[in-house]
Amino acid sequence: MEHAALVERVASASVRRFAAEVGTDGPVRVVGARTQWDIGRRADGQRADVRDLHAPDGVVDVQPSELIVRVGAGTPVAELDVALAEVGLQCPLDPPSSAATVGGVLSVGHSGVRRLRHGHVRDTVLEALYVSADGVLRRAGAPVVKNVTGFDLPRLLVGSIGTLGLVGEVVLRCGPIPAQRGWWQAPGVDPWAVRNAVFRPSSILWDGTTAWVQLEGSEAEVHAEVRSLPGERWESCAAPTLPPGRSSVGPAMVKRLRTEDPSVAIGTTWWMAEIGTGVVHGANLARPAVAPPILELNRRMKDAFDRSGRLNPGVLPW
Amino acid sequence: MPVSRPIGLWTVSDTRWVGSQIRDDDAALVDALRLVIDSKRVLVSAFEKALYAKDASSLSPSEPGVVVLPVSSDEVQAVVRIANHFGRAITPRGSGTGLAGGAVPLDAPVVIVTSKMNRVLDVDVDERTAWVEPGVLNLDLSKAVAHHGLHYAPDPSSQQVCSIGGNVATNAGGPHCLAHGVTSAHTIAVEVVLPDGSLCVLGTDDPGYDLRGIFVGSEGTMGIVTKVCVRLMVNPPAIRTLLADFTSIRDASAAVSAVIASGTLPAALEMMDANCIKAVEPWAKAGLPLDADAVLLIEIEGVPEGIEPSVAEIRDRCLSSGARTVRVASTAEERALLWKARKSAFGAIANIKPDYYLHDAVVPRSRLVEVMENVIEIARRHDIIVLNVFHAGDGNLHPLLVFDGREPGVLDRVHQAGEEIVRACVAAGGTLSGEHGIGLEKKDLLPLVMTDAELAHQVLVRTVFDPNGRCNPTKVLPAGASCGELRRVPDGAWV
């Protein structure tokens, strides 16, 4: 059958070995660098007999003329960044810790702070080779930048924390590394005014008093954008330190922080908001409630893909 | 693989109605619908139903059981619940401009048309988002926010008539999706009526699985969109539109790869071949070179201070790949004219032959050279005229097979050539559809790119949303993918 060749053709020996390790029974999970290990973890449902596996490690193939890269899920993001930079490319996964693995970042599904310009992290995944609860290796998506062939399984896998399938290898969309990239900060500036003043900022952060903006592009572009920033007190700076913790509170809540006491509105005084994405960084932030029909869909999805609950037991993404 | 079948064209003689009267068991259904929806918006006559019997593809029409045009989420919910009560399938429909048969109402379903739900509900200028109803037309949305300096980026060629709800259902694309991504990347949240009649909002940052992401592009098989929160984009402060002309399509294809690898990603990168130019130019008068073998239409966005070096870089890449000339549109009118030529290409086809069959497939863009040569060779071998006008920067081909359906035997040749083109794209590492979707048209081709195990997961996802198989049940997945629940494509359908 010609179709069987597709997943067979792209699956390397290491991916096949990974599938064999997952096998068909017993609780199993994939360990990356454990930099975001507690996300989705529940006190109940932990299993002492769970097997820890590692996804294949290494950059398989960078294709500059295609602006894509095929990479093992166990590869550290730092290693991917170096391999891409060698040919003038980047893939802005921007994990909170540089030790994080590609698979770890994707399984958690949190975008980096450059989401404002580069989009959600799930939009970078073009193809995923994953092993399901039945031990079968499957391919979701294809190594092309546009694809509406069937339902969009790569997006379902991103953020699923290894509870629907265990991802061994992915093809990611990349882009050119800009000639210049940097951060600027200013006190007392309205961050929404910043957004309206510059064309395509990479990120705008705000802690209630100071605004930070990250810009990237050619030298001429970045200079022009810096000149158009509102106010006089902008200075070049290092990347700001994000408070630990993160929650998508939504743009409406971020706006409320202009006038409301953050310790009441979001329950913390040390916070930093991403303008334009509704993400706030800070400790112990409340998670948005999940509506009953959505909870039901999430449960049915988990049940459909992993009826016995062997994939990453004790972890649920909702 | 599907067996060869004749195309059912939209002619009276080809129309095979299931039945043009209300069936006995429809009477109670219609009565129930009229209790919740103004009876003027419950269509039951054969004439009215005929208007909703097909989409923009050449698939055979099929008569709806009943057509309803709700005006609110509440009404959609009520209709879905009534359809469930009567055990009837539903088929959602936007503007009916789909090209893969997703809205063709097989098996007399309740067709829910969202075109009367066409209000822009709320625009948040600070956050650059808007809540809109699904019947809002794509271009109308951009017009509605133009005074804020904003626009909606995905721009299918049908943008004057296609709806946002339909765009969400097919995860639609368009020329400007090269830099900004397709519909999914611009859909922040969708309010949907699920197949069981419950109403919920699926958001991009919801805790849990990306249900929004799986819903976008599900072609009406997981529920009906009743509101959409879209991402708007700020209008670029500077735009340059380049027209590069080539004496060989091979050089033009090579130039695409050279531009992609240049370090400047254009906002759009489109190709038109010689046949397309000859069809379009006499009508559009956009200044396309009639002696060219292919042209590339390239758009670059940025800030005024940074855009000229990008223009120079891309011009150099085109020239070193063999472009004869590279012209930069000097006025907004000239730019608009070039885009008019591109987006109205399909309308100009009637100058050549009365019928066309438009394909949609994707290949890795670095394989464009060989795939284009293959496409042209396949068409030559089957003695079919092919026009190529497509999203070259995305590797998204749209070979347009032009023919006269009255010529004996031509339909078999069109079918054969079409299938060979799709196979050539898959063989080059590509896939079946980049933006039109699977619908009825390509569902039996899915095994070309998916194993049985992969198909089984497609079925799983759909079943999570629609356990009883009520929502557009005959679409997307091949017959037999799910325990005989799904019906075969009817005779006369183009697959």
Q: Which of A132, A112, A131, A128 is nearest to A120 (CA)?
A: A112
pLDDT for the residue B23: 57
Give the distance from CA B154 to its chain's centroid.
11
Predicted ipTM of the assembly: 0.96
Task: State yes or no: pLDDT of B4 exceeds 80.
Answer: no
Q: How confident is the model at residue B408 (pLDDT cuts 50, 70, 90)?
A: very high
Residue B447: is its pLDDT beyond 90? yes
Distances in Å between the Cα of B486 and the Cα atoms of B73, B108, B272, B396, B495 are: 28, 15, 39, 29, 16
B170 at A interface, C-beta within 8 A: yes
CB A105 within 8 A of CB A71: no
Q: Which two tokens stand for residue A172?
A: 């990611």
Q: Looking at the partner chain, which of B194, B260, B362 has a beta carbon nearest the beta carbon of A293? A: B194
The whole-number pLDDT of residue A286 equals: 81
pLDDT score at B351 = 78
DSSP A227-283: HTSSSS--EEEPPPPPPS-EEE--HHHHHHTTTS-HHHHTS-SSEEEETTT-EEEET
Beta bridge partners of A66: none
Query: Of chain B residues 378-397, which have a CB less than 8 A from chain A?
Result: 391, 394-396
Q: Which whole number is the average pLDDT over A76-97?
A: 97
- Cβ–Cβ below 8 Å for A146 and B454: no
**How far apart (Å, rounded) are the C-alpha atoms in residues B455 and B440?**
16
**Are B303 and A224 in contact (CB < 8 Å)?**
yes
In chain A, residues with a C-beta closer than 8 Å to the C-beta of B264 are 176
| A-chain residues near B435 (CB < 8 A) | 146, 148
Average pLDDT for residues B39-58, to the nearest whole number?
A: 94
Q: Which of B261, B461, B462 sits opposite A65 (nearest CB)?
A: B261
Beta carbons of B207 and A7 less than 8 Å apart: no
- pLDDT interval class at B2 (50, 70, 90): very low
- Whether B309 has a pLDDT exceeding 50, the answer reads yes
pLDDT of residue A5: 52
**Does the beta-carbon distance from A192 to B431 stay under 8 Å?**
no
Band (pLDDT 50/70/90 cuts) for residue A289 is confident
**Which of A20-24, A115-119, A169-173, B14-18 shows the lowest per-residue confidence on average (mean pLDDT)?**
B14-18
Q: What is the mean pLDDT of residues A110-126?
A: 97
Judged against a pLDDT cut of 70, whether residue B1 lies above it is answered with no
Phi, psi of B193 (to 5 degrees): -95, 115
Res B11 pLDDT > 50: no
CA distances from A285 to A116, A245, A253, A279 (A): 21, 7, 12, 11
Judge: A145–B306 Cβ closer than 8 Å, yes or no: no
> pTM for the whole thing?
0.94
pLDDT of residue B343: 83
- Which tens digits make up the pLDDT trace of B189-207? 999 999 999 999 999 999 9
Look at residue A229 and tell me whether its pLDDT is greater than 70.
Answer: yes
Identify the pLDDT of residue B350.
Answer: 77
Task: Convert the pLDDT of each residue in B359-394 to its tens digit.
Answer: 999 999 989 989 999 999 999 999 999 999 999 999
| Segment B334-352 mean pLDDT | 85
Is B310 in contact with A287 (Cβ distance < 8 A)?
Answer: no
Q: Which of B257, B363, B438 is opposite residue A150, by nearest beta carbon?
A: B438
The pLDDT value given to residue B491: 37
pLDDT score, position A98: 87
CA B53 to CA B76: how far, in whole Å? 20
Of A2, A151, A291, the CB nearest to B448: A2
Q: Which residues pair with A182 in a beta bridge?
A: A215
Q: What is the pLDDT of residue B35?
A: 96
Cβ pair A29, A50 in contact under 8 A? yes
Q: Distance (Å, rounded) from C-alpha B224 to C-alpha B93?
A: 9
Cα distances from B433 to residues A168, A291, B140, B272, B425, in angstroms, run 25, 34, 26, 19, 10
Whether the CB of B235 is below 8 Å from some CB of chain A: the reply is no
Q: How many residues belong to chain A?
A: 318
Mutate: best of B303, B314, B452, B466, partner A, most A CBs <10 A: B303
The pLDDT of residue B271 is above 90: yes
B431: contact with A, CB 8 A cutoff? yes
